[in-house]
Amino acid sequence: MNKLNLAICIALLSGCGGGESETSSSVDNPPVEKKVSSLLADNKLTDDSNFNQYKDFKVTIDVTNYEFTSDTVFLKVYTDSNRTLYLGKANPQSQFSIHVPNNVDQIYFDLFSDFPQDKQINGVIKL
Protein backbone atom coordinates (compact mmCIF):
# COMPACT_ATOMS: atom_id res chain seq x y z
CA MET A 1 0.00 0.00 0.00
CA ASN A 2 2.87 2.33 0.83
CA LYS A 3 4.51 1.61 -2.51
CA LEU A 4 1.26 2.41 -4.33
CA ASN A 5 0.86 5.74 -2.50
CA LEU A 6 4.48 6.59 -3.21
CA ALA A 7 4.06 5.86 -6.91
CA ILE A 8 0.93 8.03 -7.13
CA CYS A 9 2.67 10.94 -5.35
CA ILE A 10 5.69 10.70 -7.69
CA ALA A 11 3.42 10.67 -10.74
CA LEU A 12 1.50 13.73 -9.53
CA LEU A 13 4.63 15.67 -8.64
CA SER A 14 6.31 14.98 -11.95
CA GLY A 15 3.26 16.36 -13.75
CA CYS A 16 3.53 19.67 -11.91
CA GLY A 17 6.15 21.22 -14.14
CA GLY A 18 6.85 24.80 -13.32
CA GLY A 19 8.20 25.34 -16.80
CA GLU A 20 7.47 28.42 -18.85
CA SER A 21 4.14 28.70 -20.53
CA GLU A 22 3.74 29.52 -24.19
CA THR A 23 1.42 32.47 -23.55
CA SER A 24 2.91 35.90 -22.92
CA SER A 25 2.07 37.73 -19.74
CA SER A 26 0.01 40.90 -19.93
CA VAL A 27 1.81 42.58 -17.01
CA ASP A 28 3.67 45.70 -18.15
CA ASN A 29 7.05 46.45 -16.65
CA PRO A 30 7.26 49.84 -14.95
CA PRO A 31 9.34 52.45 -16.81
CA VAL A 32 12.96 52.63 -15.77
CA GLU A 33 13.76 55.93 -14.05
CA LYS A 34 16.61 57.93 -15.51
CA LYS A 35 19.43 58.24 -12.99
CA VAL A 36 20.49 61.81 -12.28
CA SER A 37 24.22 62.38 -12.16
CA SER A 38 25.95 64.99 -10.03
CA LEU A 39 29.12 64.91 -12.10
CA LEU A 40 30.01 68.16 -13.81
CA ALA A 41 30.92 66.27 -16.99
CA ASP A 42 27.35 64.89 -17.15
CA ASN A 43 25.70 68.26 -16.53
CA LYS A 44 26.78 70.68 -19.23
CA LEU A 45 26.15 74.35 -18.49
CA THR A 46 25.10 76.98 -20.97
CA ASP A 47 27.40 79.90 -21.73
CA ASP A 48 25.20 82.32 -19.75
CA SER A 49 25.16 80.20 -16.58
CA ASN A 50 26.21 81.93 -13.38
CA PHE A 51 27.03 80.60 -9.91
CA ASN A 52 28.02 82.85 -7.02
CA GLN A 53 28.76 82.09 -3.40
CA TYR A 54 29.46 85.74 -2.61
CA LYS A 55 27.73 89.07 -3.18
CA ASP A 56 29.67 92.26 -3.80
CA PHE A 57 28.67 95.37 -1.84
CA LYS A 58 29.99 98.92 -1.75
CA VAL A 59 30.12 100.12 1.83
CA THR A 60 30.86 103.64 3.08
CA ILE A 61 31.85 104.37 6.67
CA ASP A 62 32.63 108.05 7.35
CA VAL A 63 35.29 107.99 10.08
CA THR A 64 35.09 111.79 10.48
CA ASN A 65 31.60 111.37 11.99
CA TYR A 66 33.23 109.76 15.02
CA GLU A 67 35.48 111.71 17.34
CA PHE A 68 38.87 110.03 17.34
CA THR A 69 41.92 111.78 18.80
CA SER A 70 44.30 109.70 16.73
CA ASP A 71 44.85 110.11 13.02
CA THR A 72 45.30 106.36 12.73
CA VAL A 73 41.95 104.60 12.87
CA PHE A 74 41.46 100.92 12.16
CA LEU A 75 38.41 99.19 10.75
CA LYS A 76 37.28 95.61 11.29
CA VAL A 77 34.33 94.23 9.30
CA TYR A 78 32.93 90.83 10.25
CA THR A 79 29.84 88.62 10.11
CA ASP A 80 27.61 87.49 12.98
CA SER A 81 29.66 84.27 13.17
CA ASN A 82 32.80 86.38 13.80
CA ARG A 83 34.20 85.67 10.35
CA THR A 84 36.47 88.61 9.59
CA LEU A 85 35.91 90.09 6.14
CA TYR A 86 38.23 93.09 6.43
CA LEU A 87 40.79 94.33 8.96
CA GLY A 88 42.98 97.31 8.21
CA LYS A 89 43.59 101.04 8.41
CA ALA A 90 40.51 103.15 7.71
CA ASN A 91 40.70 106.22 5.50
CA PRO A 92 38.83 109.34 6.69
CA GLN A 93 36.00 108.42 4.37
CA SER A 94 36.28 104.66 4.05
CA GLN A 95 34.46 103.51 0.97
CA PHE A 96 35.31 99.98 0.00
CA SER A 97 33.96 97.04 -1.88
CA ILE A 98 33.43 93.90 0.15
CA HIS A 99 32.53 90.35 -0.82
CA VAL A 100 29.97 88.83 1.52
CA PRO A 101 28.65 85.23 1.52
CA ASN A 102 25.18 84.90 -0.02
CA ASN A 103 23.58 83.82 3.25
CA VAL A 104 24.67 86.96 5.18
CA ASP A 105 22.04 89.71 5.63
CA GLN A 106 24.06 92.12 7.73
CA ILE A 107 27.66 92.80 8.62
CA TYR A 108 29.21 94.35 11.70
CA PHE A 109 32.06 96.83 12.00
CA ASP A 110 34.37 98.08 14.72
CA LEU A 111 36.31 101.34 14.53
CA PHE A 112 39.21 101.77 16.94
CA SER A 113 42.45 103.73 17.19
CA ASP A 114 45.86 103.27 18.76
CA PHE A 115 45.08 105.82 21.49
CA PRO A 116 43.77 104.32 24.73
CA GLN A 117 41.56 107.40 25.33
CA ASP A 118 39.53 106.79 22.15
CA LYS A 119 36.48 104.61 22.52
CA GLN A 120 35.81 101.69 20.21
CA ILE A 121 32.82 102.28 17.91
CA ASN A 122 30.61 99.31 16.97
CA GLY A 123 28.03 99.32 14.21
CA VAL A 124 25.79 97.21 12.00
CA ILE A 125 25.25 97.53 8.25
CA LYS A 126 22.15 95.90 6.80
CA LEU A 127 22.71 94.59 3.29
Question: What is the value of pTM for the model shown?
Answer: 0.58
Q: Cβ distance 77 to 59 under 8 Å?
A: yes
Q: Using CA atoms, how far apart are residues 103 and 54, in angstroms rounded to an integer?
A: 9
- Domain assignment present for residue 37? The answer is no
pLDDT at 102: 87
Q: How many domains does the chain have?
A: 1
Instruction: Give residue 12's pLDDT band: very low, low, confident or very high (50, 70, 90).
Output: low
- Domain assignment present for residue 95? The answer is yes
pLDDT at 24: 56
pLDDT single digits (tens) 24-83:
556 677 777 777 888 878 888 788 887 788 888 888 888 888 889 998 999 999 999 999
Using the predicted structure, report yes or no on whether residue 20 has a pLDDT greater than 70. Answer: no
- Domain assignment present for residue 28? The answer is no
Amino acid letter, residue 48: D
- Domain assignment present for residue 83? The answer is yes
Q: Cβ distance 49 to 36 under 8 Å?
A: no
The CATH number that applies at residue 66 is 2.60.40
- The domain in which residue 66 lies consists of 54-126
pLDDT (mean) for 82-86: 91
Q: How far is CA 109 from the centre of its chain?
A: 26
